[in-house]
Copies of this chain bind each other. A is one copy, B any other.
Amino acid sequence: MSKIKIIVADDHQLFREGIIALLAKNDSLDIIGEAASANELFELMDKSVPHVVLMDISMPETNGLDAIKVAKDKYPECKFIVLTMHAEGQYVVKAVRNGAFGYLIKNADENELIAAIEAVALGKKYFNSEISQLMIGNMALEGESHKKLSDREMEVLELVSEGRTTKEIADQLFVSARTVDTHRVNMMKKLSVQNTAELIKKAAHLKLI
């Protein structure tokens, strides 16, 4: 079998260089490029489509998970492995939904990384049991989870979190205070909380603000 062509996408140069130095020791792997952002990755893929992309989640501009979704549409034959330090169920779930073939935490070891690359290159999925557990845990939560907030609600949420009163927000958004009230109440229902304080806390933890 020919070499597995790989692109490493991560905004941390030292990590990219480290991974490349690590994989360079293996003759069956061929690193054809590296990217510090989703856009750089897209440019590289336009020139030459790799077999496998190692993708970080946290990157400037477009994040890794969204980038997978976009790239999957264009190059369905290319496989993505998420390689991140985020061991959180929500990310795993989103990665799978967006079409990732593998998910590795950065504290995996070299052997596991290579095993994952080889498995994924053959069209198999690679999720070790730790990751699978995270996903299961998160799926269970989803049942009782919140709905998404609308754009307008996010706007109101933002202002509420900045300490504005209902009236101030109403004036600023050119709507009645009742409307702002309704938005706030609807958000509380969606996130299953009792009052504004808890709403802000939950929103902060969900990184909405």
Contact = CB atoms under 8 A, between A and B. Distances in A.
Contact of A18 (B17, B160, B194, B204): B17
Interface string A116-160: 000000000000000000000000000000000000000000001
A36 interface: yes
B106 A12 contact: yes
Interface string A23-58: 011000000000010000000000000000000000
Contacts of A105: 12
How many copies of this chain? 2
Interface residues on A, range: 35 or more
Contact of A14 (B19, B25, B162, B200): B19
A161 B197 contact: yes
Interface string A66-80: 000000000000000
A173 interface: no
Contact of A15 (B15, B165, B199, B201): B15
Contact of A204 (B36, B104, B195, B205): B205
B201 A107 contact: no
Given A200-B201, A205-B204, A195 B165 contact: yes
5 contacts: A15-B18, A17-B22, A17-B110, A21-B25, A163-B198
